[in-house]
């Protein structure tokens, strides 16, 4: 009897540990709004106003960056990642990638940039 109680305790402890959220391949962002997604997923590296950072690593600025004006370029980068930047395709839906890239382009690159569409994202997301 004692042995079974001990095993039940061990199993429930293991199940509890599995509930801890982790930034692994299974992680997905919950935010839907572009600004909230930026704060949760980009700001840590590219800074609050898209000014970028240089220090232990190099995080290019997004503000005033002419490359960011092109929807294809930023969507491709966010979906597929590149060198020091993680790929977000597995962590964000097409709608979320469209929202966050629209936010970055309109807030930091070109205020009158047309919104990124879900179609744009679908075309550029690598399967």
Q: What stretches of the chain show up as alpha helix (H) in DSSP?
A: 2-18, 34-41, 43-46, 71-80, 94-104, 118-124
Least distance in angstroms from the C-beta of 7 to ligand HEC: 41
Residue 67 within binding range of ligand HEC, rule CB under 6 A: yes
68 near ligand HEC (CB under 6 A): yes
Can residue 36 be called a binding residue for ligand HEC (CB under 6 A)? no
- Interface of this chain with ligand HEC, residues 85 to 104, rule: CB under 6 A: 85-86, 88, 100, 104
Task: Extract the tokens encoding 78.
Answer: 């966010």
Cβ(46)–Cβ(101) below 8 Å: no
Look up residue 29 and give its two tokens.
Answer: 């962002």
Give the residue nearest to ligand HEC (CB): 42
């Amino acid at each position: 009897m004692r042995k079974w109680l001990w095993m039940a305790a061990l199993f429930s402890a293991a199940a509890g540990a599995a509930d801890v959220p982790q930034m692994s391949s299974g992680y997905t962002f919950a935010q839907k709004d572009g600004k909230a997604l930026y704060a949760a997923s980009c700001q840590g590296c590219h800074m609050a106003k898209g000014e970028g950072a240089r220090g232990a690593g190099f995080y290019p600025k997004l503000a005033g960056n002419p490359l960011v004006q092109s929807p294809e370029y930023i969507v491709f980068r966010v979906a597929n990642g590149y060198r020091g930047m993680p790929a977000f395709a597995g962590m964000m839906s097409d709608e979320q990638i469209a929202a966050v890239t629209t936010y970055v382009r309109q807030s930091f690159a070109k205020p009158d940039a047309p919104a990124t569409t879900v179609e744009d994202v679908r075309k550029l997301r690598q399967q």
